[in-house]
Each structure stands twice: as structure tokens, then as C-alpha cells.
Structure 1
Amino acid sequence: MVIINNTPVGKTGYGLMGFTSRPHQTPDEQAFAAMKKAIEKGAICWNSGEFYGTPDPTLGVQLLHRYFKKHPEDASKVFLSIKGSVDAATLTPLGSPADVRKSIDNVLRILDGVKKIDIFECARVDPKTPIEETIGALAECVKEGKIGAIGLSEVSATTIRRAHAVHPIAAVEAEYSLWATDIRMNGVANVCTELNIPIVAYSPLGWGFLTGGIKSPDDLPENDFRRHFSKFQPDNFNVNIELVNKVEGLARKKGCTPAQLAVEWVRYQSGRYGMPDLLPIPGATSMGRVEENCQEVGLTEEEYLELEGIVGSTQVLGGRYFEAVESFLFG
């Protein structure tokens, strides 16, 4: 069980980006069914963003509004984390006090009272604004009751310390998966353990790569944003697929899917090996995928060590995003 801001949120969360970052919008009927299934399965920490979705940059929050307006009984069951304070057109972080307030007010306007913001986090650190000023503005919003708590996203260990000194940080969101283990080497996991801050691990399935369902860059839809990611470029892809092949082999032996094994690897480390509490938030667009991701298949110590051996011995090439936003990672 992971506790965020004194709220138990289970062992798995739910990333709503899966509905709002695909080339085609998932129909509400399908999306709502998957969201209902997530609650049923205990994946009640939902993560979305003000800027998710095309062509309307607030499509992710609008989806939440439509869902909770139709199912008001579910609002109190879900712990909602929202990322914002980003220029949707340029993906530039906006961390000034005025920009932070503008972003929060915009999200509240769209939600229109159907659901409160339990955690608000700036999606990236604004290099032009000291983190103390950003957190100070967010702390005022907590006092005013606009948001419940403050989170951080894609931040360095130093930034976490500086932010936490201004106001307690409820959670840190960071990419963490079998092919993205940076937080174990750059001090982020260590400082979160020290300060007792849980990590919300987004993309535990490696942007879908670790599901085993993508065997070639051509398997991605033509307008899929992942086509621009460094790890999915053909030369890198042909090397990175080896990690997937090894994970698939172990999954076959265990009798589970590669996706279940990848998520279980994150869960298994929660509170162990010097790691903080970890909450994986896989995204999905169907009830079946939600059920698959939430199914706990368990790991033995031997299986965990075998996966660690795969991570340690298999080369992974390429950055985590496309070049334009790489400079804003671990700000």
C-alpha cells in the first residue's frame, strides 16, 4: 500500500495520458468503462495533465469532467493528480507565481466542481523561476483550498530538497521502468527515501514498448507522438528490442504477460533495496488492458534478480523524449 498525502492509494495507479495522447481520441464509452474498471481494481490514484490531448490542450481535464459529471459517486473514490504550468504549444515550463495560479484556475474552471485537485504539480521546472517561488505560490493555493497538496515532476534531487524546505512535497513523479532507471543513479530515489516522499512511476511499460506489442517502429500509428522519441528511432529500436525479447522470455516462463512483469518489477521494489514507496501508473484505453495492468502476478527474489540481470546486461539506446524537451528533464 502506498500512502500519498495521508491517503492510501493502493499498489497501482492509473495514468490517463493513454486516452489523450494517441492519434485518435478514445470514445467516451470506452474510456469511461476503463476508468470504472480502474476504480474496481483499486487503481484509484489518477494522473492527468492540463495540456494532455489534441487538438484541444485541455482534453485530458475535459475527459475527467465528463466522467465525474456522469459518475459523481466516483469523485470521492479517486485521488487526482494534475500536471500543469506548461505552454502547450512549445512545451516550455511556466513556473512563475502568476502562471501557476493561471494553470490551477484553468483546471478548476474545466472541472467545474465535479472533482477536486488532490495534488497539483508543475510538469517541469521552469529554469527562469527559482523553485522556491514556484512552491511558495503553490503553498498559497493549498492554504486557499484550491489544491490539496503539492507534487513535483521530472526533478533533480537538489530541486526536491529545495522544494521540500518550502512546503512538504506529497509525491514526486518520475519515469521509471525496466528501460528507464535514471532515478536509481541520480539521487532522486535516495532523497525521496530519506524524506519519505513516494515516487509516482509513470510509463512503467516504457511508453508501451515493454508490452511486447511493438515489434517495429512501423507498428506505431502514423501520427503517434512516440515516433519522435529517440528510443523509437529505427537504429535505436533495433538494439532496444533485445531487452523486450528477454523480458518476454521470462514472462513466458512465469505464465504472465510482459506488461504484467514490467509493472510487477516496479511494485516489488516499493520500500525495498533503499527505494521509496513506488506507485506505478500504467495507462490504458480499454478495460482489458486495465485488468491486465492491475493484476498482481508477484515476483520471487530469484525472478527479480533475473530481471535486474536483464537491465544490467542489456544496452538501451536513446534519450527518453525528443530533443526539444530533453533539457527540461530532472530540472
Structure 2
Amino acid sequence: MPSLLGKEVGPTGYGLMRMTWNSQPPSEEVCFETLNTALKLGANFWNGGELYGTAERNSLHLLYNYFTKFPENADKVVLSIKGGSKPGILQPDGSEANLRRSVDECLRILDGKKTIDIFECARQDPKTTVEQTVTILGQLVKEGKIGGIGLSEVDADTIRRAHKVHPIAAVEVELSLWATDILHNDIAKTCAELDIPVVAYSPLGRGALTGTITKFSDIPEGDFRRSLPKYQAGILERNMMVVHEITELSKRKGATLSQVALAWTRTLGNKPGMPTIIPIPGGTTSDKVIQNMGGIHVLSDEEMEAIDMILEGNDVVGSRY
């Protein structure tokens, strides 16, 4: 099993962002059942954030309530928290005053029920250097407020510069069969060289690799995906060629499309020259977690080669944002 900051991480990660980003998140009862199922199945890397929800109600409030009810699970979980934005808006603010405010606010909400194992700025503030950001967060590590430092949505050069200032615990970036950018822009290579695990968010292509979306009209009104280039009418249908071929492979294997997509990311992380990869699929119900983690966890060399051929023959078009 891979490890983060000396703690073992199970066969897959589990993301909390889906629970609190939606306008109508599930009830706490459903959330707690889902979290307990995830933990039981070995998904003990949990990803939350100050920005997932509102200042009055976000994933940290959910975590506080969960660990209040299940205090015995606190030490079993590796908790990664995103912050560093201005209060209430998705605008990065890398000033020391705001970084300290963000960490202190997260700790205030958790109220000692759970420590912050990894803290990362959701985006790098263009007004500050990554060296300044990591220096400040490094001081917070020394003060015992956070366990380690993560990076989110940064390029290879930024990772190298940050790691020179303070060891980086993890780099969170988008990675899926629909978003293979890090395999071609030196991010994966750099993380492998520096022995930094990659936390892969949206490993199911924001739902495209689950079989629930086949055309633009399948995306609900007001859904964030309607604004993304890859999901526009005409473009989405073209990109579904990859999904159709992977679906046929999954049928031959006796697995679901999502299981094959997740197994691909995990197997990718086992290849020579690649970093450890921890996928964090979202999931709002126990059934979804069980499906994601069930069946297969790795693919054979022949299956990986077949998927490589599918990706080479079907370019996914449209930028991520």
C-alpha cells in the first residue's frame, strides 16, 4: 500500500468534495454511512476543503460532526484539506495573514476532533511565489498546526521549486482516461523523481467514465459541467468514442466502466518511472463507493496496452476548464 506522511493509504482514495459541492447534498445520515463504508473498504484518504460549501456549512463541518460521532476513526484517516482562498470566494490569497486565517479557521471548525494531515492551497496565488507560500506553510508545520504540505493544480517547475523549500507530501491534479495531461507535461515525471504521490481528482471524468453521461442533454441545467469545453454538444459526443471502447473492454473483463477507469489510474502508478497515484473518486452513497472499490484494482500489461491504443486512436478534445 502507498503511504502519506508515514500513514498507509488503502487501495483507493475517497473524495468528500462531491458531498458538499452540490446545491443539495445528502443528509448527514447518508454521508456518515458512506464514509463508514469507504473506511471499511480501505479508502482512508479523505479530501475536503474550506471551499467545498459555504463559510457557514462546508465539508469541515461535516467532518467535525462525523468524528464527533466516530472518534475512533480519526487516527485511521489521512485528511487532506484545501484552503488558501479569500473567505467566501474562489480567489487565491497567498498572503501570510490569509494562509494563517485559513488554517486556523479549518482547525477551529474541526475543534480537535481531527488533525489536518495535509493542507494545500486550492490554487497558487499569482501575486505570491510558491517559495513564499511553502515557507509560510512550512512554519505552520513546525507549529504543529498541519502535518504536511500539498500542492494543487501546479506545473512541474512549481513542484520542483516548492520541494526545494519544504518536502511536499502530495500533488493533487486531474487525471483520468479523459485527462492525461500530467503524463505529457512532466508533472508525473517530476513527482516520480521527487517521490511525491499524485492525488488524482476527477478520475471518473466528472461522470463521463461512469456511463451516466452520453450526450450534452444528460447534464442537468445549472451543472458546472455545462460550462466546460469537453462537455459541449458535439464535442462531448465525439469524446464518448473513448468511453464506448473502454466500455467494451470492461464488459470482456466482467467489470464496470468506472472500475476499469479507476484500475487504470492505480495500475499506471505501479509502472516504472511513474509516481504513486491515489485516485479520489467522489461518491455520495455507500452503493457508489462499493461499486467503485469492487471487482478489480489492477489491470494486466495486455489490458494497459489495449487502453493505450484506444487513447492513441481517439483524441479527447476540449480543454479541462
Q: Same fold, TM exceeding 0.5?
A: yes
CA distance in 1, matches of 2:22, 2:254: 30
Q: How far did 1:167 drift? A: 0.5
- CA distance 1:57–1:193, change in 2 (3 Å): farther
Q: Is the contact made by 1:264 and 1:296 (CA closer than 8 Å) also made in structure 2?
A: no
Runs of 4+ in 1 over 4 A off after TM superposition: 55-58
Q: Does 1:184 align with 2:145?
A: no
**Equivalent in the alignment of 2:247:** 248
Q: How far did 1:87 drift? A: 3.2
Q: Does 1:304 align with 2:304?
A: yes
Task: Name the SS of the counterpart of 2:284 in structure 1.
Answer: coil
**Equivalent in the alignment of 2:19:** 19
CA distance in 2, matches of 1:23, 1:67: 20
**Equivalent in the alignment of 1:163:** 162
* Structure 1 unaligned spans of 5+: 322-331
Task: Name the SS of the counterpart of 1:147 in structure 2.
Answer: coil
Task: Name the SS of the counterpart of 2:120 in structure 1.
Answer: strand
CA distance in 2, matches of 1:207, 1:161: 29
**Equivalent in the alignment of 1:236:** 235
Q: Does 1:37 align with 2:9?
A: no
**Equivalent in the alignment of 1:328:** none
Task: Name the SS of the counterpart of 2:168 in structure 1.
Answer: coil
CA distance in 2, matches of 1:96, 1:271: 38
CA distance in 2, matches of 1:88, 1:320: 25
Q: What aligned pairs does 1:274-289 form with structure 2 within 5 A after superposition?
A: 274-289=273-288
Q: How far did 1:154 drift? A: 0.7
Q: Is the contact made by 2:51 and 2:88 (CA closer than 8 Å) also made in structure 1?
A: no
**Equivalent in the alignment of 1:87:** 86
Q: How far did 1:2 drift? A: 1.1
**Equivalent in the alignment of 1:193:** 192
CA RMSD of aligned residues (A): 1.4
**Equivalent in the alignment of 1:140:** 139
Q: Could you tell me the percent identity over the aligned residues?
A: 49
Q: How far did 1:271 drift? A: 3.2
CA distance in 1, matches of 2:315, 2:78: 37
CA distance in 1, matches of 2:199, 2:261: 15
Segment of structure 1 superposing worse, 38-47 or 312-321: 312-321
Q: How far did 1:90 drift? A: 4.6
Q: What aligned pairs does 1:64-83 form with structure 2 within 5 A after superposition?
A: 64-83=63-82
Q: Does 1:124 align with 2:126?
A: no
Q: How far did 1:56 drift? A: 4.7
- CA distance 1:290–1:199, change in 2 (3 Å): same
Q: How far did 1:66 drift? A: 1.4
Task: Name the SS of the counterpart of 1:211 in structure 2.
Answer: coil
Q: How far did 1:110 drift? A: 1.1
Equivalent AA in structure 1 for residue 10 of structure 2: G
Equivalent AA in structure 1 for residue 139 of structure 2: E
Number of aligned pairs?
A: 320
Q: Is the contact made by 1:260 and 1:296 (CA closer than 8 Å) also made in structure 2?
A: yes
Q: Does 1:7 align with 2:7?
A: yes
CA distance in 1, matches of 2:230, 2:56: 25
Deviations 1:308-331 (CA, angstroms, capped at 9, x unpaired): 11111112121112xxxxxxxxxx
CA distance in 1, matches of 2:319, 2:173: 15
TM-score by length of 2: 0.96
CA distance in 2, matches of 1:224, 1:27: 20
**Equivalent in the alignment of 1:173:** 172
TM-score by length of 1: 0.93
Q: How far did 1:229 drift? A: 1.7
Q: How far did 1:89 drift? A: 5.2
